[in-house]
Structure 1
Amino acid sequence: MPPATGSSARRLSWGLLARELSAFGVVGAICFAIDVLLFQVLYAHAGLGAVTAKLLATLASMSVAFVGHRFWSFSHRARTGLQRESVRFAVINGAALLLGLAVVGFVRYPLQQESALVLQLANIGSIALGTVIRYVGYRQWVFPAHPAAPEADVTTRMR
């Protein structure tokens, strides 16, 4: 089958991007629910500190996210090894986690907010910011595209 060219390649590319974004969104929504609910339970009901609750909630949702993204959202991309992908995934999520901890910590301590609602809003805002970092990082660095197929040589194309 000849490779897609022109507008058919663009349609295929946009279709693949739409499916990838949709799967990323579904996994993200599940992980968002885990993060928000676990943060609420740990902070408002278990009595943990806001930053500790954010850390534990994010670690739990991050574990679910790795499985969902590796085996569904980005399953069509190159497999570069579980260890490599895990380490890179952890680095990107570590950066997003530090951002989230900084936001929640800033709202809780310098701004002296103790309300579970206010801290949950800070948590949700940090998740939104982290989502952009995670999507770009996963797509470019953790689950890269397959290498481009080599062009057929001139003699093959001339037949």
Structure 2
Amino acid sequence: MTTTAPSSTSLAQRLRGVSGEVLKFGIVGLVGVFVNFGVSNAVLHLTGWAPVRCSVIGTAVAIAANYLGYRYWVYRDTDAASRRREITLFLIFSGVGMLIENGTVWFATYTLGLHGPLAYNVSKAVGTGLGTLFRFFSYRTWVFTALPEPATAEEPGSGPATAEEPGSGLAAQAELMLAAEEIRYAKAE
């Protein structure tokens, strides 16, 4: 019985790949923050509507702008075969992020009784930070997923998996997920 050492990327290579992805995500997110704060403050000051309503409008416009940046720049090399699934998940996770973000505005305004532009923008900034953390991990994990490369005949476990083979079942799924991550990291460099 011969064993082959699995090809693995070093921790430094993985971190380098993630750091490139984080940088791109951050740039798109920063544009979204400017859009979000610009639109929500403009609506707040021009209309005099309730702070949470203005914040939701700004967040919705930023979500649309961010989708374009994520889809066509940050995650352009990911599986685009099922756009309907991608957009649905993007909107669901963006909606949860919107609830997180605007929940802080609501809490500051109606629970703490803080009013005025400074309180509004500070509460919006805290909520934006929390929502961004949630969005980054959810988009990366579930929305913009990379496709693993198909197995070749030379690779162990590339044929039909049986219960006796080491590449069957859960182990095979884990190997495919690792392959997808390695592709993502390699493309991020």
Structure 1 partner of 2:64 = 63
Distance 2:50 2:132 in 1: 24
* Native 8 Å contact 1:27 1:65 kept in 2: yes
Distance 2:39 2:149 in 1: 42
Structure 2 partner of 1:141 = 142
Distance 2:100 2:29 in 1: 17
Letter in 2 for 1:67: L
* Native 8 Å contact 1:44 1:116 kept in 2: no
Once the two structures are TM-superposed, the CA of residue 112 in structure 1 deviates from its matched residue by: 1.5
Letter in 2 for 1:45: L
Structure 1 partner of 2:95 = 94
| Superposed structure 1 runs of 4+ greater than 3 Å apart | 4-7, 9-15
Structure 1 partner of 2:105 = 104
How many pairs does the alignment contain?
Answer: 151
Distance 1:61 1:6 in 2: 38
TM-score normalized by structure 1?
0.85
> What do the CA deviations read for 1:111-152 (whole angstroms, capped 9, x no partner)?
122211101100010000001100000100001122254254
Distance 1:88 1:147 in 2: 20
Shift of the 115–78 alpha-carbon distance from structure 1 to 2, 3 Å rule, reads: same
Structure 1 partner of 2:133 = 132
Letter in 1 for 2:19: A
More helix by share: 1
Listed as ranges, the matches of 1:33-44 within 5 Å are: 33-44=34-45
Letter in 2 for 1:54: S
> What do the CA deviations read for 1:17-62 (whole angstroms, capped 9, x no partner)?
2221111011000000011111211113321210110110000000
Structure 2 partner of 1:17 = 18
Once the two structures are TM-superposed, the CA of residue 63 in structure 1 deviates from its matched residue by: 0.1
Shift of the 67–100 alpha-carbon distance from structure 1 to 2, 3 Å rule, reads: same
* Secondary structure at 2:111 match in 1: coil
**110-119 vs 63-72, which moves further:** 110-119
Q: Confirm or deny that 1:117 pairs with 2:121.
A: no
Shift of the 154–109 alpha-carbon distance from structure 1 to 2, 3 Å rule, reads: closer
Distance 2:150 2:21 in 1: 21
Once the two structures are TM-superposed, the CA of residue 14 in structure 1 deviates from its matched residue by: 3.2
Structure 1 gaps of 5+ residues are none
